[in-house]
Amino acid sequence: MSGAFIVRAAIHDALSGDGTLATLVNQVSDGEPVKASAPWLQVGDPVVTGWGARGVEGLTLRQPIQLVLRGDDLPRVTAILDRVDAVLGAIDGELGDGAPGGWRITGLRFERSRIVRSRTEWRVSVDYVVRAARLT
């Protein structure tokens, strides 16, 4: 399985498995939700590039996370985004059992965000840059 799929799955699993985040949003979807009641989070489609060094195969993902929240509740928007940041910061870097061919996250950081406020809702997109290396 491609490292990009493994990293994306780890991000989705961490967000959807967090109890505190579950009290703040109704759903964490992998891709566009079929049916969701706001507030919800979406693990979007990443942009993936390769990198490497002698004997190291790696990849870099720019992984978007989108939030949709109806109403005028800026404190809740802030609480959700703070929790997303905390959950992603706590992901165990070792993906899988450490066997050859597995992947390890070597870096994960906030890159940029875009916030759109309409009369009826907030739409926020936050990009994280994730670097991962294949275990040999």
Q: What is the pLDDT of residue 32?
A: 83
Specify the pLDDT at position 85.
96
Q: Which domain holds residue 59?
A: 3-134
Look up residue 111 and give its two tokens: 């890159």
SS3 state of residue 83: helix
Cβ atoms of residues 95 and 108 within 8 Å: no
The backbone torsions φ and ψ at residue 108, rounded to the nearest 5 degrees and listed phi first, read -150, 120
Please name which of 128, 125, 127, 107 lies closest in space to residue 116, comparing C-alpha atoms.
125
What is the predicted pLDDT for the residue at 53?
A: 81
What pTM did the predictor assign? Answer: 0.90
- How many structural domains are present in the chain? 1
CATH number at residue 127: 3.30.2000.30
- Based on C-alpha coordinates, what's the Rg of the chain? 16
Q: Which residue ranges in the chain fall short of pLDDT 50?
A: 1
